[in-house]
């Protein structure tokens, strides 16, 4: 069976786009969440909190002709993919255009401004705001398609527009494509641009945090005082490659994707299922040929919602017991939706290499309804450098689990 390794990676969040910047911030307990003064006009939305990557600008990012088909969500992805390819030593390698390199990536949605132009057309009957690329910027597969065009990819394009599992499925489907021999290299990941509509989705479900007076401590995964999530903005990309292919060109593998599984609850759109979460994690471990005791630590989904955290903790405990360190990153930069799986893999790989994981932000008192786990609280924790499991769960009951190990 072909082995799949990571040869390049990049990411960006509200805390920055460099591992040298983001990781120290995480270990220091810092967050990128702020009060959104510009949301005062949204009188029917309870939350005023967000984690936008304010520092990232699309102005003059690329020539105008290349930017015509990119909304912000696609620009985030293309920019991050370019950095990941550079990290892998593949940015100008002809193999990228050989037909053996593809992309599996996605976002929750396309770009909102283009959607508003279509809404304007429906309301006013005038199409003056629309142009030839409006739909390209709006469509749910705008990010992977723009990457394919930008880099001249001629391999497969797999669109993973599955909300919070978009990028973890992107990594997983890339793993499967390379493992089966359908590709040698895959660009995998996800992104989501910051938009108040995404916050409103969860606000209507009473799932957003309303700790508006304390942004830095608003997201409290697994804590008794948690009251919901905060939406963040991010992009994350991993370059996955068949091991022998990577070694033949002199690349240095950073980690190995050892197992992946995805399934669906098939029962409820927004209420998670413990049983299917248990199954997806066990199947990923089986594919990796590993036992729960082989795992050094777990990167949890941990959004900070009342129900989601309880179910996830119970599923995690059913698989691993209480002997494996468990943490979540979303308290630091919010729930980045389509980007979260790739961001957590990007940061997780470097944490594994360094042998240290940060505490879950703002976790002080574990909710008694949550299962007994070895929650990482207060201070960073030294961990083994062999492997970790990264889990994500999405609307529609879509579950993913990735097993990543050192090589």
301 is catalytic: yes
Q: Active-site residue among 245, 327, 332, 335?
A: 335
User: Which conformational region is residue 384 in: left (phi greater than 0), alpha (psi within -120 to 50 degrees), or beta?
Assistant: beta
Spot the catalytic one: 79, 217, 245, 301.
Answer: 301
Assess whether 195 carries a catalytic annotation. no
Catalytic hit among 141, 164, 195, 332: 164
- Residue 275 tokens read as 């049983």
d(CA 243, CA 240): 9
**Beta-bridge mates of residue 261:** 401
Query: Cα angle at 336 between 334 and 339, to 5 degrees?
Result: 150
79 is catalytic: no
Rounded Cα–Cα distance for residues 17 and 204 (Å): 31
Residue positions annotated with a catalytic role: 164, 301, 335
């Amino acid at each position: 069976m072909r082995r799949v390794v990571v040869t390049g990676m990049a990411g960006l969040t509200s805390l920055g786009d460099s591992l040298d910047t983001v990781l120290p911030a995480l270990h220091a307990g810092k967050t990128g969440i702020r009060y959104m003064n510009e949301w005062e006009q949204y009188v029917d939305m309870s939350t005023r909190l967000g984690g936008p990557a304010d520092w990232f600008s699309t102005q003059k990012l690329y020539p105008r002709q290349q930017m015509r088909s990119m909304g912000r969500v696609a620009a985030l992805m293309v920019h991050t993919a370019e950095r990941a390819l550079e990290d892998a030593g593949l940015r100008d390698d002809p193999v990228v255009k050989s037909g053996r390199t593809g992309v599996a990536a996605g976002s929750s949605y396309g770009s909102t401004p283009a959607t508003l132009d279509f809404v304007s057309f429906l309301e006013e009957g005038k199409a003056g705001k629309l142009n030839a690329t409006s739909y390209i910027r709006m469509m749910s597969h705008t990010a992977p398609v723009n990457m394919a065009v930008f880099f001249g990819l001629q391999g497969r394009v797999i669109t993973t527009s599955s909300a919070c599992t978009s990028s973890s499925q992107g990594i997983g489907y890339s793993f499967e494509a390379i493992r089966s021999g359908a590709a040698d290299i895959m660009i995998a990941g996800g992104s989501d641009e910051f938009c108040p509509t995404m916050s409103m989705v969860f606000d209507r479900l009473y799932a957003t945090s309303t700790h508006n007076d304390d942004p830095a401590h608003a997201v409290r995964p697994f804590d008794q005082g948690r009251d919901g999530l905060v939406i963040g903005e991010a992009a994350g990309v991993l370059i996955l490659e068949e091991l022998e292919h990577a070694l033949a060109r002199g690349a240095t593998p950073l980690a190995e994707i050892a197992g992946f599984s995805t399934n669906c609850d098939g029962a409820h759109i927004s209420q998670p299922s413990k049983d299917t979460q248990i199954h997806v994690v066990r199947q990923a471990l089986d594919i990796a040929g590993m036992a729960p005791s082989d795992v050094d630590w777990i990167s949890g989904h941990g959004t900070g919602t009342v129900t989601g955290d309880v179910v996830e903790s119970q599923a995690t405990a059913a698989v691993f017991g209480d002997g494996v360190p468990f943490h979540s990153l979303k308290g630091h930069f919010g729930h980045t939706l389509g980007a979260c799986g790739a961001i957590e893999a990007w940061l997780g790989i470097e944490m594994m290499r360094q042998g240290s994981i940060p505490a879950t932000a703002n976790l002080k008192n574990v909710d008694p309804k949550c299962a007994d786990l070895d929650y990482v609280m207060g201070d960073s924790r030294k961990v083994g450098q062999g492997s970790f499991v990264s889990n994500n769960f999405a609307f529609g009951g879509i579950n993913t689990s990735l097993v990543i190990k050192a090589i």
